[in-house]
Each structure stands twice: as C-alpha cells, then as structure tokens.
Chains A and B, each alone.
Chain A
Amino acid sequence: EAGVAQSPRYKIIEKRQSVAFWCNPISGHATLYWYQQILGQGPKLLIQFQNNGVVDDSQLPKDRFSAERLKGVDSTLKIQPAKLEDSAVYLCASSKIVPNEQFFGPGTRLTVL
C-alpha cells in the first residue's frame, strides 16, 4: 500500500513570495490533515478535511494560508505572501474516519529568506 505522498520535499523562497504544497493521501483515507512543525516543536494542526469538507481550520492563519481538497482526494496548501516565521516543515497526514490513526507523509521543508 502506497503511503502519503507530498511534493515538493524542499522549497526556498523569499519573504512576500507565494508557495504551494501538494499532498496525495493513502487510498481510501477520507480524512486529510495539514500540520506545521517548527524546529523543536510538535506538529500544529492547520486544517483537517473529511472528504472534501473542512472539519477544523481554527489554527489556520486565513489571511495568508489557504487549502483545498477538490474531489475529496489530493490537497494543496498555499501560503501567500510568505513571512520569515513560516519557515517550517509542512506535514500532510491521512486517516480513515474510524479508526483515526494518522499516517504522515515525508513533509515539505520550507525556508523563507
């Protein structure tokens, strides 16, 4: 069974530029999560989708971050414009509805200069 796929693996941009990350979940997993992990911290949930609906986006900085999950499968997370403090690893995870153990992709390491 293929795992969660993410791309790109690394991205370097300058502040105020925009960037987009892509995630393809494990086949059959209805729930998809985007996390931000800053070095030395635990992952912070940005947004949770169930199928193509948003379940939780309470910690998503909506003035600059957006996410979509068209057709309930793959998803994109966008940052526009990026700030220095957005430098982090962006993790995508997926799970079934029940049980909801999450499986993580390899992550995208973003550096904002």
Chain B
Amino acid sequence: QKEVEQNSGPLSVPEGAIASLNCTYSDRGSQSFFWYRQYSGKSPELIMFIYSNGDKEDGRFTAQLNKASQYVSLLIRDSQPSDSATYLCAVNDNYGQNFVFGPGTRLSVLP
C-alpha cells in the first residue's frame, strides 16, 4: 500500500515567519509531487508541483524534493493569516497513475 505521510499539526507560526511543511512517501517509483491548499469547507487548490530533485520557487512558496530520501517539503515565506489552511501533499507515478494524497498538515498563522 503506497503511503504519503504528513505531520497533522496544527503547525502554528507568527505572521511574517517561514512555515515549513514536510511530506514523506513510501513508493520509490513516485515521479510527480504536488502541494495543495485546502481551506475549511472548500476543495483543494493547487499551489505548485515539482518533478525534479532540488528547489522550485513560485512567489512566496518554495517546494523542495529529495527523491533519495523520499522527502518533499513546502516552505512559505512571509506567512500571512490568509495562509491558514490545511496543506495536502500528493504524489503519483511516472504514468500519471496511483495518485495518493497525504492526510494534510493544518497550518495556523497567528497575527
């Protein structure tokens, strides 16, 4: 059974700080990695995706991937109260199949 693990939180950070969200996955065949944000009562929305080892930056968000360690993370710089949400990590294989979501980490940004 392929698994994706995340710390359920809540992770609390002060406004303006860097929030660091972590995700590990069990399937070494995983090739694509996604971060989604889900506000309470809403559906997930894509923040960013990463396919290659290293860092990928998009605005205040940076995704980091280390396939050898089977680890992907999301950094949120200059955290805002509007970033308070659940962050879902998702992975799939090279064929765009076997899509698995983690349980999500609840982030709370304190004003």
Contact = CB atoms under 8 A, between A and B. Distances in A.
B34 to A, nearest CB: 7
Contacts of B49: 99, 101
Which of B42, B44, B45, B92 has most chain A Cβ within 10 Å? B44
B96 A104 contact: no
Chain B interface extent, by class: 20 to 34
Contact of B46 (A44, A55, A89, A101): A101
A107 interface: yes
Nearest to A44: B101
Interface in B82-109: 88, 90, 92, 96-104
B104 A42 contact: yes
B4 to A, nearest CB: 8
A12 interface: no
A103 B88 contact: no
B43 interface: yes
A44 B34 CA distance: 15
A100 B44 contact: no
A89 B41 CA distance: 10
Contacts of A42: 4, 88, 90, 101-104
A58 to B, nearest CB: 8
B97 A55 contact: yes
Contacts of A105: 43
A21 B75 CA distance: 36
B32 interface: yes
A104 B43 contact: yes
Interface of B: 4, 32, 34, 42-46, 49, 88, 90, 92, 96-104
26 contacts: A42-B4, A42-B88, A42-B101, A42-B102, A43-B44, A43-B101, A44-B101, A45-B99, A45-B100, A55-B96, A55-B97, A56-B97, A56-B98, A56-B99, A89-B43, A91-B43, A98-B96, A99-B49, A100-B32, A101-B34, A101-B46, A101-B49, A102-B46, A104-B44, A105-B43, A107-B43
Interface of A: 31, 33, 35, 40-45, 48, 55-56, 89, 91, 95, 97-107
